[in-house]
Structure 1
Amino acid sequence: MPFRLNPGAHEPAPSLADRLRSAERTQYGIWVCSGSPLNAEICAGAGLDIVLIDGEHSPIGLETTLGLLQAVAAYPVAPLVRAPIGDTVIVKQLLDLGAQNLLIPMVNSAEEAEAMVRAVHYPPRGVRGVGSALARSSRWSRIDDYLARAGDLVSLFVQIETVEAVAAAADIAAVEGVDGLLVGPADLAASMGLLGQQSHPDVVAAVESVIAVGAEAGKPVGVNAFDPEVAERYAAAGAAWVLVGADVALLARASEALAARFVGDAGPEGRASY
């Protein structure tokens, strides 16, 4: 008997943008920065909504990203991949290896956001190179009409991380093809001259102003907040999604707690969160 695919066997999961639009509560996520597929699978099965694979502040490259996406694919989470930089070639590579949801760091203007929209779309709307028959993104041409549908299957999020980006947040949110924003309080604090002070009232106010801008534009805004009280504040302020931890940070704090209990003083308390 000849082999035949089951109908819908290669239909992609809903994008993160689709999930956020239909969500009835704030969505919560965790970073995977270690590069370990085992850690990624543990995080994916924990019951959170989003697993964010970080290609910017980690040793994670293209081949590792592929393995991490494969590790979390069996779980009902939305995998989001952060590119190391908003580069058209890197975006193409991440899309082709199967990153359905992309996050671009350090987007400071509507023009930069528009460039990233072009990077994720095939011509004539964009400039994404056509290699879908060779790529996991189309499941090697097993996804019906992938080339025609790709723009609807991919979601694009951009990061607001500087004073300039906060000032331009309304223009960035208005860019067609940008599905949502993520505020990075750590870099934003540094940009404001408040390095390491993510919970400073001025930083919190700036984050909440972006959340309000997103609500006005109908674009979901996320934020990093490893401090539970701050995370709850941002959720109450209208953040659609909050990233509340990272695999490496959880391991660091948990191992320090063991050392403090069984060995003694393990070092300074109250270490800064991301």
Structure 2
Amino acid sequence: MPAPINPFKSAIAANRPQIGCWLTFAEAGAAELMAHTGFDWLVVDGEHSPNDLRSIRDQLAVIDPTDSHAVVRVPFGEAWMIKQVLDAGAQTVLVPMVDTAEHAAEMVRACRYPPEGIRGMGATGARVTKFGAIPDYVSNANQEICLLVQAESRAALENLDAILAVDGVDGVFIGPADLSADMGYPGNAAAPEVQEAIADAIPRIRAAGKAAGILTQTLEGAQKHLDQGATFVAVGIDTLILAKAARALSAGTKAMIKG
């Protein structure tokens, strides 16, 4: 039995739009709930959430049996982090702050077994092989790992064509928040200059045969980016979805009180 087919990788390679959401609670229960809400993909965020390898593993365990696909964002693009989340069961990895083709190529190598890469041959006893129940995992694992890199700085956009030329990078995710800060508009991803940079980058990514991704928190933003050619679009963050609904409910109910 070889490694299972990665449905997310197949979908973005076929240019089938995938709608996702960010998971930042770092709790398996919340991840399980979100995995039953219809999203195609869910980001288990290791960069800006209180996750560690065990909590990432636990969220993978509850997402895997559902129709949602888990995308694990590591804290930074270090090979040892990639190796750990892959052995924990991740098939799709999102790497933040990739500014150069050299860094992107390093991440490709971290995702692949030799001779194509530097991933260690230790999966037999790990969750990714169901603890040895998938004996031929290594035979096709390299082909089924999906690597997404984030372009979220002026340097990344300047080097975008070189990053896109790296074999093994399946998609490039534009990070609007960090990009806007680097461009001099912290907290204002809606700045015209930032939106112009995004509008320029997405078609370039698609023209290179890669999938383009982005995060927005409005339906209008999602429609705009889909129209621009984005293939995988995240449309919310779990904690903010709950907070927004709770604030509206609290305020609405309190407004009923007379006097």
Q: So what's the TM-score if we normalise by structure 1?
A: 0.89
Unaligned residue ranges in structure 2 (runs of 5+): none
Q: Does 1:228 align with 2:225?
A: no
**With CA pairs under 8 Å and 6+ residues apart, which has the higher RCO, 1 or 2?**
2
Query: What residue number does 1:59 align with?
Result: 50
Check the 8 A contact 2:3/2:136 in 1, yes or no. Answer: no
Give, in whole Å, the separation in 1 of the partners of 2:161 and 2:241.
34
Query: What residue number does 1:142 align with?
Result: 133
Query: What residue number does 1:18 align with?
Result: 10
* 1:138-184 deviation line (CA, Å, top 9, x unaligned): 22232242122110121100001001101111111110010101111
Give, in whole Å, the separation in 1 of the partners of 2:223 and 2:189.
15
Give, in whole Å, the separation in 1 of the partners of 2:9 and 2:200.
21
How far does residue 58 in structure 1 lie from its aligned partner after superposition? 0.3
How far does residue 14 in structure 1 lie from its aligned partner after superposition? 2.2
Check the 8 A contact 2:72/2:93 in 1, yes or no. Answer: yes
**For the structure 1 residues 153 and 12, does the alpha-carbon distance in structure 2 shift closer, same or farther, using more than 3 Å as the test?**
same
* 1:202-238 deviation line (CA, Å, top 9, x unaligned): 1111112121111111100000111221221011110
How far does residue 15 in structure 1 lie from its aligned partner after superposition? 4.1
Pairwise mapping of residues 228-267 of structure 1 onto structure 2 (< 5 A)?
A: 228-263=219-254
Q: Does 1:172 align with 2:170?
A: no
Pairwise mapping of residues 59-78 of structure 1 onto structure 2 (< 5 A)?
A: 59-78=50-69
Give, in whole Å, the separation in 1 of the partners of 2:118 and 2:223.
39
Check the 8 A contact 1:15/1:154 in 2, yes or no. Answer: no
How far does residue 118 in structure 1 lie from its aligned partner after superposition? 0.8
Query: What residue number does 1:157 align with?
Result: 148
Check the 8 A contact 2:101/2:163 in 1, yes or no. Answer: yes
Pairwise mapping of residues 51-200 of structure 1 onto structure 2 (< 5 A)?
A: 51-200=42-191
SS at 1:142's partner residue?
A: coil
Give, in whole Å, the separation in 2 of the partners of 1:114 and 1:13.
23
Give, in whole Å, the separation in 1 of the partners of 2:229 and 2:216.
14
How far does residue 22 in structure 1 lie from its aligned partner after superposition? 3.0
Range 12-21 or range 167-176, more displaced: 12-21
Give, in whole Å, the separation in 2 of the partners of 1:71 and 1:78.
11
Query: What residue number does 1:268 align with?
Result: none
Query: What residue number does 2:194 align with?
Result: 203
Give, in whole Å, the separation in 1 of the partners of 2:137 and 2:191.
46
Give, in whole Å, the separation in 2 of the partners of 1:15 and 1:94.
18
SS at 1:12's partner residue?
A: coil
Q: So what's the TM-score if we normalise by structure 2?
A: 0.94
Give, in whole Å, the separation in 2 of the partners of 1:23 and 1:190.
30
- One-letter amino acid matched to 1:48: F
Identity %: 37
How far does residue 23 in structure 1 lie from its aligned partner after superposition? 4.9
Check the 8 A contact 1:189/1:196 in 2, yes or no. Answer: yes
- One-letter amino acid matched to 2:246: S
**For the structure 1 residues 57 and 120, does the alpha-carbon distance in structure 2 shift closer, same or farther, using more than 3 Å as the test?**
same
Give, in whole Å, the separation in 1 of the partners of 2:162 and 2:9.
19
How far does residue 52 in structure 1 lie from its aligned partner after superposition? 0.8
SS at 1:29's partner residue?
A: strand
